[in-house]
Amino acid sequence: AQGQRNTMEARFLNRNMKHPIEGQRLELECLPFSSDNGVSWIRQEKDGKLHFIVYISPLSRTTFPRNERTSSQFEGSKQGSSFRLVVENFKAQDQGTYFCIANINQTLYFSSGQPAFFPATTTAAPTTAAATTQSSHVNKDICMPSSEPGTSSENILNLYCE
């Protein structure tokens, strides 16, 4: 019950959005369980690196890196109980998972993450003839460790399937 009471959500302001497009204005909102405190916005890159973007006070005052009050790349504001982040002219280096964080009574509360990546580019599927010629490999379970000579099960993480 406590976990549900203290949940926060970060999401695209436009709920129909799935992926940002290069050059667009991207708008995100943070819905904290308490709007009496300010929130910080951070972005996590695919490799896990974290970047502080902005702190937004309960009075909608913003503090960007190096104690700057404004940014040419980002906007932050509080509207009602929602804390908003705008990424102007979304670029490849802006891709990542966005989180908001609240510091309440010396405890950090993290929102759910909102992934913001360009749509994945897909390659053409193999033709039916090509799939048929490799049918002997289709039934092989590619999630299991290889038992081929020269491989070591110690080096296989078994976390993902191909």
DSSP symbols for 65-110: GGGBS--SSEEEEEETTEEEEEESS--GGG-EEEEEEEEETTEEEE
Examine residue 102 and state whether it is found in any structural domain, yes or no.
yes
Is the pLDDT higher at 78 or at 149?
78
Judging by beta carbons within 10 Å of its beta carbon (0-12, 13-18, 19+), is residue 57 exposed, middle or buried? middle
Examine residue 108 and state whether it is found in any structural domain, yes or no.
yes
Boundaries of domain holding 75: 9-116
What's the gap between Cα 92 and its chain centre?
14
Which band of pLDDT confidence, cut at 50, 70 and 90, is reported for residue 93? very high
Average pLDDT over residues 108-129: 80
Examine residue 51 and state whether it is found in any structural domain, yes or no.
yes
Tell me the backbone φ, ψ of residue 18, rounded to 5 degrees. -110, -45
pLDDT of res. 128: 54
pLDDT of res. 5: 65
pLDDT of res. 13: 96
pLDDT of res. 120: 81
Collapsing DSSP to helix, strand or coil, 5 comes out as helix
Examine residue 149 and state whether it is found in any structural domain, yes or no.
no
Q: How many domains is the chain built from?
A: 1
Examine residue 111 and state whether it is found in any structural domain, yes or no.
yes
Average pLDDT, the chain: 80
Average pLDDT over residues 65-88: 96
Q: How far is CA 28 from CA 56, 76, 77, 86, in A?
A: 13, 10, 11, 6
Examine residue 88 and state whether it is found in any structural domain, yes or no.
yes
Whether the pLDDT of residue 94 is over 80: the answer is yes
Q: For the segment 29-50, what is each residue's pLDDT rounded down to a tens digit?
A: 999 988 789 999 999 999 999 9
CA 12/CA 99 separation, integer angstroms: 11
Angle at 61 between CA 55 and CA 67, to 5 degrees: 55
CATH of the domain at 30: 2.60.40.10
Examine residue 4 and state whether it is found in any structural domain, yes or no.
no
Judging by beta carbons within 10 Å of its beta carbon (0-12, 13-18, 19+), is residue 25 exposed, middle or buried? exposed
Whether the pLDDT of residue 84 is over 80: the answer is yes
Whether the pLDDT of residue 153 is over 80: the answer is no
Whether the pLDDT of residue 124 is over 60: the answer is yes
Examine residue 135 and state whether it is found in any structural domain, yes or no.
no
pLDDT of res. 34: 82
